[in-house]
Structure 1
Amino acid sequence: MKTYRKVVLLIATILGVLFLLLMASFTTINACAFANQHSVFIKSQTQLAIESSDLEQAKYYAYKALKGINKTKNNFKDCGCENALVNIKQAEQNLKQATKTNSLEASKSFLQTALKSTMISINALEEFEDGDNTTYGNDVLVLNTKQVLNEQGGVILPKAKRLKEAIDLNVSQFEQSLQNVLEHVECGDAFNFISKIHTKTKEKLGDKSLSEAKIYYHVRVKEITYNALLSLEGCPAK
């Protein structure tokens, strides 16, 4: 029983690490999406400020755009797109200047610059999120740098492929731990334990809102647990 508890603890630990890895990856993806959504709002408010016929109205919309930046600044940081972050900060500075001027003409000059920076930020986010659909498609981009050569064998993989490989790596660790269960845990206890994971995974796959990455993860876990259960065929459940 002590061996069983030890292996179960190992499985639980690996599942926890895998969950945190996946959540970190998904958080990055969601952060980019949120940053993009807020950028569209910031752009619209800045445009309304530029179209305003008096200074107070221009400042009103400039403040709304600034509020949008404050709400999403952490999303820009979490996303990891440096170009988008730099430009949204520049937009913020120009919007602040637009609210401090005493003439509509001067305010609109800052607003135009802020709008330009916001547009650059939006484009940078779109390119960053859709990296797999750029000129390079699904091919790899070879960089002749020591860091890349050492860390990735001379290539930088598209974001979606990096996520898939991260999932594969950690799922393989889970598979190895299941093998420990099969080898060291009494047959009936192992069957019950793996059955619970398999059933829960199938339930998760019934969620229609799952992203492609999460579907891939759950399908892999389902396959691994199914194969493990097949190896225990005829084993009495407890």
Structure 2
Amino acid sequence: MNFKPQLSLMLICLFAQAAIAKSNCEDAYTSASYGLSHSKKAFKANNFDHQQYYAGRALDALEKTRDQVNNCGCDGALVSIASGIENLEKALDPKDWDMGRYFTKRAIADAYSVLENLDLCSTPDETSSSEPKDGISETDNTASTAEEKAAYVQALDELEAAALTELKQLDQTVKKLSELLDCEVPQFSMDQIKAKYDGQAQSESMNELQEQLIEDARSLYRQALDAIEACWENK
């Protein structure tokens, strides 16, 4: 009996499962990076409302991370995720602002720990030696990688926030123009745009996020121009 087809199918399934697990862990890393970024924003917030808002976004990100980690099998990250979720839940309902900062600071440490564990899960164990290479320890490398990725996520968030502000101003300009021309111009749904980007930037790269934002701006212009042209044709 020829077992070659069955063996090939088994290998394909194993590789597919490994690829899916790797992808899920990469998704978990992205979500954990958002959790870290939002936790930092909550810690730096200068008022109670902003502190709670960003703590809530960080909590959502870590809960999403937990689900993704369960699918990718990096069990070492689950303890830190649970601790981070607990601290963020306390940060959402603290007895005062200082306690909110205290629990948020603990959540930041938890988020770093999650990222470190995810790094360990995705890095092959090439050598059994625990000696650092070039004088740099594995922990230092992991922390550096986590910092870089968190900074990148923060840059995405800042780009998103700035672009949404500009879109809002553009929306207001279109509204004023429609009033001056006495034309009914459909308003761009800023609520829908905010919901589209809120919480987690839905792009995997800076270029993708820029393309999404540019397309939204183009859509606003197209709707406004079409409505104004139609209005003047009917006058």
TM-score computed with the length of structure 2 as normaliser = 0.50
Greater C-alpha Rg: 1
